[in-house]
Homo-oligomer: A and B are copies of this chain.
Amino acid sequence: MHTNIVTCTAPVNIAVIKYWGKKDEKLHIPLNSSLSASLDQKDLKTTTSVVAGTDFTEDELWLNGKKENVESKRIQNVLRLIREGSTVEWKDDPNYKLRIVSTNNFPTAAGLASSASGYCCLVYALAQLYGCRSDLSAIARLGSGSACRSMYGGWVAWEMGRDHESSVAVQVADEKHWPEVQILVCVVSDVQKHTSSSDGMQQSVRTSKLLADRAENIVPKRMEEMKQAILTRDFHTFADLTMKDSDSFHACCADTQPPIYYMNNVSHHIVSLVQSYNKKVGSNKVAYTYDAGPNAVLYIADEKHMVEMLKLLHIYFNPSEGVQRERPFFDNEYLLAKMSTLDEQSLVDGLQVEKRPDALKYILHTKPGPGPQISQDHLISL
């Protein structure tokens, strides 16, 4: 005997005010509030199917085709809270075992944090299965801090709060609020070994004197300005705050002992290109932001400027012909056609940037999108 299969999808999110450092390691209460956009699931998503049955011998968790340890503290914390908020009769019946299967539709090599969409999707799916009425963003937070922000679509704040109940995500504006905004994910070729976010932020909390100043004095004001910029669709200010916050986060990493460098020479190069482009067009039409890795995520004011930036990325990081690739450099035919109508010379005029062929592996295009969804495309068949 088994329950219905529940399948859900959940978005990746990219922060524009960064989460770095926990006040409470166990409860994942952050040092500061943060804010992100959830990305369109047409382009990037996690899909998770869950089912409980009396005919399974044990709880099982499969991620991207690989069996994972369901006994991990993060998973067990999530399960405990889902059961506490559950309304189904069988919730504490030991005869019911879980089967969980999860996949991502985006390459791991993209360096996009899959833990956010992964834990969000797991919590959302389990909550449907168990009829759980609790705040799901708080439960997802116990899986992975930033997962709470994937619980909503559009623009989402994670209010730091003081305890489990108050450290939750809230939607600032949904995905229809600012439809012009475009996103390019620039995947950098030269991937070195990196300090994990979780280890890195612990080291920063312990050793960076600048991080405390950031969390206490800089981010609170910036959060309010950022919400205002989003609500009034003021892209110039939004971009200014986004770049400042990314820079301040990486400054705290560089101030950590031993220092942590997530950005490399190519990341720095993209920063120059964005700065140079914004200067040329006379206001911020593009904002860069970097998570715990060298890949750039560019938020762009509208399609016109996105296509220009896309062309510039092709010009400055032009992929060599005949190089074997795991996937095409860029494969959106509609945008490639738009790009081809632009004049290269007038685009690069006045930009003081050097070319760096093959420094990018590929580029993904996406937009802000909705929150978790229920799906009928089950990953489990019984």
Chain A residues engaging chain B, CB cutoff 8 angstroms: 208-210, 213-214, 217-218, 240, 243-244, 247-248, 250-252, 254-259, 261, 263-265, 268, 271-272, 275
Contact = CB atoms under 8 A, between A and B. Distances in A.
Nearest to A208: B251
Nearest to A222: B209
Given A210-B251, A252-B251, A243 B257 contact: yes
Nearest to A252: B251
27 contacts: A208-B251, A209-B213, A209-B214, A209-B218, A209-B248, A210-B210, A210-B214, A210-B248, A210-B251, A210-B255, A240-B257, A243-B257, A243-B258, A244-B257, A247-B255, A247-B259, A250-B259, A251-B252, A251-B254, A251-B255, A258-B271, A258-B272, A259-B268, A261-B263, A261-B268, A261-B271, A264-B265
A272 B259 CA distance: 9
A261 B270 CA distance: 12
A272 B260 CA distance: 10
Contacts of A252: 210, 251
Nearest to A207: B244
A257 B261 contact: no
Contacts of A263: 261
Contacts of A261: 263, 268, 271
A208 B252 CA distance: 12
A250 B261 CA distance: 11
Nearest to A221: B209
A328 to B, nearest CB: 27
Contacts of A247: 254-257, 259
A252 to B, nearest CB: 7
Contacts of A240: 257
Contacts of A217: 209, 213
A204 to B, nearest CB: 11
A271 B251 contact: no
Nearest to A272: B258
A268 B261 CA distance: 7
Contacts of A259: 247, 250, 268, 271
Nearest to A288: B259
Given A248-B255, A258-B271, A261-B263, 11 more contacts: A209-B214, A209-B248, A213-B213, A247-B254, A247-B255, A250-B259, A251-B255, A258-B272, A258-B275, A261-B268, A261-B271
Contacts of A271: 258-259, 261
A213 B218 CA distance: 11
Contacts of A213: 209-210, 213, 217
A208 B247 CA distance: 10
A256 B275 CA distance: 13
Contacts of A251: 208, 210, 251-252, 254-255
A218 B211 CA distance: 12
A64 B305 CA distance: 48
Contacts of A209: 213-214, 217-218, 248
A18 to B, nearest CB: 13
A209 B212 CA distance: 12
A206 to B, nearest CB: 13
A355 to B, nearest CB: 14
A265 B356 CA distance: 15
Contacts of A265: 264-265
A254 B290 CA distance: 13
